[in-house]
Chain A
């Protein structure tokens, strides 16, 4: 049976309660009659033979590019860059797509007699990956062949000796990227395109760049002009990356882009009810839900977190394309939208979100309050094309416990940002002008970023800027079930129950508001008409 497309449900009296994520837990909430619930399309059929598809894509590139085998020659300098731990979400079951693609690329390189090959993790300002995480992403065979010889490196945006300034765009934006990648005869970039904003020129222009480059588009102004990140024709973030990418291309850096898309098969069998429509739950789903809920509600949060972060998604590859960056990305974006797009008629007064335990920046870690804000306002709010799901001045209601809790190894600067910056102001522009430089250049944060597994000092600022468009657009943000202290520090309102939150929202949007719930994950993107 072919996968059903996405669906917008109109809630009536006989509609069963709707699943809401609450971090590592979940609840069923009865939504008011007349509310809408948006469900993701069902997972598309994966490729029958992904390895054959990869080989075909490498041999039949898109755009102005020769087949990969024709670009490889003895004595050349080849760099293979790939996405880091932030993709995909949740991490996928083995074999990871990166492993499958990189092994095929390396096979071709070996056939062509290429000796000088290096692998680079495109971290940008993210934390360095651990050995188990790397082994999971690229497989033991690749790891054991390259890591012991120092040929598997993680991009260091603070290593001045290994960065190369390529120039400035017409808009005056500095373009500075990894020197090894910039000085290679060929840079192969291996992408996992989980959402429409991933990939394209952003891969190299962001993933292999430095703070000097990133600050030109990771700022409140750019974020406010990106409506949304997922809509490349209306995203200033996209435009900035494209300007930089074209400068990289014009500088003579040959990039062979490989992009892959995944289906929306997000949870393994034991949790399959999490991606089903509630009225279609079978006895097995209900038993699974009741059992999991009873266990999770009684389990200390750290164990529940550990349990969920051990869950690997059964995502499967639905397409792979390779060749010239822009031609490849055009096809990839179409494939992503085909899997995730849902047409929605009109905006809503109140948008409700159940926030799960994971975001791109807390894999194997804690979803701290700043990341809660970023996940809701930065990512989920932006899962739209044309118009935001919620009208201007509307209310966003999110369910999450929002504990005042941080991972000091991964997010040291987040702690200080939360304590020192948000206690002063929550206005993204003021945050940027008063505090960003200090955090970005703090030697202790830089040291932790370069030698440990810490996100860069400036990273929490970017998370906050990611919320800038939503903060400007919304009339109020309410978190249900959150730690009131954390919620107030974020500048949001706190409610105990969804009913209370709806009552509070009516004060902002009027007494008979419309309500829409985004039933994600699995990831979906609303095409708002």
Chain B
């Protein structure tokens, strides 16, 4: 064996060592550590505590504690630094975006004047834009202390979704497929703690444009906490982003606030839910006519039903009437739809 050729055994300094010495030992070694190959090897072989610990094979793993769905803990989102960050995002991002996309026309804001908080806001639900639109339209002293009941099985099924919606909207998980005492209790506790609540009593977005029967959640919380329900009707949001659609379009919308519905001694969740639904239906009438006409129709019990005619699908769609004039019809579809279609 030719030992002179075996540089690893040579007593003479290698090129690398000489370079290191020339640079000063520490500098040279730092440079070596920063070489891409060294960094890649370090990143790939990170050990505890840089990486998460491995679990000893001798220790039985505990059953995973459910952390998502109704078990997701949203308390962090109500700490002051997070509230501040959310307020900044809501006022400077969400509101302008909602205003541009939905161009909301607000009606009946004076219904909120002089009302003590906390309040429960119950609205019909047609689009994902509904929540940002409602939050954007609420008076400042209310919107920054409002939580939104969101479907536990939809918005809280993945960690990242739960984190994002909890931060952006102040969402709290609400069970909609079955009765769940935990989510109802959490919402009631928050109302008792002074938080306003936005809830969609239909339990989900409309699949065809017509409303769905109101469930008892909002009414139950109102009776439980003694706080009034403010009915809200949203008109036109389906045309911004409908259920099942991935395209966002600009469209005009109307948001109408109604007078608060207070729980009475004789109310149960079902009867009060019917009163809330009737109040929203009256607002629907108002959105297409005017307040006085709507009040008269409500007094006669002739408000247009939210749920549309009991007929086959095409007739229900037909009964909705023509879609409003879309912005793309004015400005051109390519400029106003998202995601944009690729030009060829």
The answer on A and B forming one complex is yes
CB within 8 Å of B: which residues of A?
Answer: 9-17, 28, 278-281, 283, 285-286, 289-290
B53 touches A9 (CB 8 A): no
Contact of B56 among A28, A279, A283 (CB under 8 A): A279
Residue of A nearest to B53 (CB): A16
B57 touches A286 (CB 8 A): no
The B interface is mostly helix, strand or loop, or mixed, namely: loop
B2 at the interface (CB under 8 A from A): no
Complex-state Cα separation, A11 to B58, whole angstroms: 7
5 residue pairs from A and B, CB less than 8 Å apart: A9-B58, A15-B56, A17-B48, A286-B48, A286-B49
B246 at the interface (CB under 8 A from A): no
Question: Which A residues touch B59, using CB under 8 A?
Answer: 9, 279
B49 touches A290 (CB 8 A): yes
Question: Which A residues touch B314, using CB under 8 A?
Answer: none
Contact of B54 among A10, A28, A279, A286 (CB under 8 A): A279
The A interface is mostly helix, strand or loop, or mixed, namely: mixed
Complex-state Cα separation, A286 to B46, whole angstroms: 13
Contact of A28 among B48, B55, B57, B58 (CB under 8 A): B48
Contact of B57 among A12, A17, A278, A283 (CB under 8 A): A12
A13 touches B52 (CB 8 A): no
B71 to chain A, nearest CB (A): 14
B53 touches A281 (CB 8 A): yes
B158 to chain A, nearest CB (A): 18
B50 at the interface (CB under 8 A from A): yes
Complex-state Cα separation, A148 to B112, whole angstroms: 61
Q: Other than the known A12-B56, A15-B57, what 5 A-B pairs have Cβ atoms closer than 8 Å? A: A14-B54, A15-B54, A16-B48, A283-B52, A286-B50
Which are the 10 A-B pairs with shortest beta-carbon distances? Answer: A16-B53, A15-B56, A286-B49, A10-B58, A16-B48, A14-B54, A279-B53, A12-B57, A279-B55, A14-B57
A278 touches B53 (CB 8 A): yes
A289 touches B49 (CB 8 A): yes
Complex-state Cα separation, A13 to B58, whole angstroms: 10
Question: Which B residues touch A281, using CB under 8 A?
Answer: 48-49, 52-53
Residue of A nearest to B57 (CB): A12
Question: Which A residues touch B57, using CB under 8 A?
Answer: 12-15
Question: Which A residues touch B49, using CB under 8 A?
Answer: 16, 28, 281, 285-286, 289-290
Question: Which B residues touch A290, using CB under 8 A?
Answer: 49-50
Residue of B nearest to A281 (CB): B53
Complex-state Cα separation, A15 to B48, whole angstroms: 10
Complex-state Cα separation, A138 to B297, whole angstroms: 74
Contact of B48 among A9, A10, A13, A278 (CB under 8 A): A278
A76 to chain B, nearest CB (A): 51
Question: Which A residues touch B54, using CB under 8 A?
Answer: 14-16, 279
Question: Which B residues touch A15, using CB under 8 A?
Answer: 54, 56-58
- Per-residue CB contact flags for chain B residues 31-63 toward chain A (1 = under 8 Å, else 0) read 000000000000000001110111111110000
- Per-residue CB contact flags for chain B residues 52-86 toward chain A (1 = under 8 Å, else 0) read 11111111000000000000000000000000000
Complex-state Cα separation, A252 to B90, whole angstroms: 76
B50 touches A9 (CB 8 A): no
A38 to chain B, nearest CB (A): 14
User: In chain B, residues 238-262, which have Cβ atoms closer than 8 Å to a Cβ of chain A?
Assistant: none
A11 touches B56 (CB 8 A): yes
Residue of B nearest to A12 (CB): B57
B76 to chain A, nearest CB (A): 12
A40 to chain B, nearest CB (A): 16
Question: Which B residues touch A12, using CB under 8 A?
Answer: 56-58
Question: Which A residues touch B50, using CB under 8 A?
Answer: 286, 290
Complex-state Cα separation, A281 to B48, whole angstroms: 10
A19 to chain B, nearest CB (A): 10
B52 touches A14 (CB 8 A): no
Question: Which A residues touch B48, using CB under 8 A?
Answer: 16-17, 28, 278, 281, 286
Question: Which B residues touch A13, using CB under 8 A?
Answer: 57
Complex-state Cα separation, A290 to B52, whole angstroms: 13
Question: Which B residues touch A283, using CB under 8 A?
Answer: 52
Complex-state Cα separation, A309 to B57, whole angstroms: 37
User: In chain B, residues 283-320, which have Cβ atoms closer than 8 Å to a Cβ of chain A?
Assistant: none
Complex-state Cα separation, A13 to B65, whole angstroms: 26
Complex-state Cα separation, A279 to B56, whole angstroms: 7
Complex-state Cα separation, A166 to B177, whole angstroms: 78
Among A14, A17, A280, find the residue whose CB has the most chain B CB atoms closer than 10 A: A14
Question: Which B residues touch A280, using CB under 8 A?
Answer: 53
Question: Which A residues touch B53, using CB under 8 A?
Answer: 16, 278-281, 286
Complex-state Cα separation, A398 to B195, whole angstroms: 54
Complex-state Cα separation, A15 to B49, whole angstroms: 12
Complex-state Cα separation, A11 to B50, whole angstroms: 20
B56 touches A9 (CB 8 A): yes
Complex-state Cα separation, A280 to B48, whole angstroms: 12
Complex-state Cα separation, A9 to B55, whole angstroms: 11
Complex-state Cα separation, A9 to B59, whole angstroms: 7
A490 to chain B, nearest CB (A): 32
Complex-state Cα separation, A28 to B55, whole angstroms: 16
A28 to chain B, nearest CB (A): 7
Question: Which A residues touch B58, using CB under 8 A?
Answer: 9-12, 15
Question: Which B residues touch A289, using CB under 8 A?
Answer: 49
B62 to chain A, nearest CB (A): 9
Question: Which B residues touch A10, using CB under 8 A?
Answer: 56, 58
Complex-state Cα separation, A285 to B58, whole angstroms: 22
Among B49, B54, B55, B56, find the residue whose CB has the most chain A CB atoms closer than 10 A: B49
Question: Which B residues touch A278, using CB under 8 A?
Answer: 48, 53
A32 to chain B, nearest CB (A): 14
B56 touches A286 (CB 8 A): no
Complex-state Cα separation, A15 to B54, whole angstroms: 6
B61 to chain A, nearest CB (A): 10
Question: Which A residues touch B52, using CB under 8 A?
Answer: 281, 283, 286
B5 to chain A, nearest CB (A): 35
Complex-state Cα separation, A52 to B80, whole angstroms: 34
Residue of A nearest to B51 (CB): A286
A141 to chain B, nearest CB (A): 33
Complex-state Cα separation, A23 to B59, whole angstroms: 29
B67 to chain A, nearest CB (A): 12
Complex-state Cα separation, A17 to B59, whole angstroms: 15
Complex-state Cα separation, A279 to B55, whole angstroms: 6
Residue of B nearest to A14 (CB): B54
Residue of B nearest to A34 (CB): B58
Residue of B nearest to A4 (CB): B62
Complex-state Cα separation, A286 to B48, whole angstroms: 8
B119 to chain A, nearest CB (A): 35
A218 to chain B, nearest CB (A): 42
Complex-state Cα separation, A283 to B48, whole angstroms: 11
Complex-state Cα separation, A16 to B50, whole angstroms: 12
Question: Which B residues touch A286, using CB under 8 A?
Answer: 48-50, 52-53
A3 to chain B, nearest CB (A): 14
Question: Which B residues touch A16, using CB under 8 A?
Answer: 48-49, 53-54, 56
A229 to chain B, nearest CB (A): 32
B23 to chain A, nearest CB (A): 24
Residue of B nearest to A17 (CB): B48
Complex-state Cα separation, A17 to B50, whole angstroms: 12
Question: Which B residues touch A17, using CB under 8 A?
Answer: 48
Complex-state Cα separation, A279 to B51, whole angstroms: 11
Complex-state Cα separation, A269 to B308, whole angstroms: 57
A448 to chain B, nearest CB (A): 45
B111 to chain A, nearest CB (A): 45
Question: Which A residues touch B55, using CB under 8 A?
Answer: 14, 279
A1 to chain B, nearest CB (A): 9
Complex-state Cα separation, A283 to B59, whole angstroms: 20
A30 to chain B, nearest CB (A): 10
Residue of A nearest to B61 (CB): A279
Complex-state Cα separation, A285 to B50, whole angstroms: 11
Complex-state Cα separation, A452 to B50, whole angstroms: 48
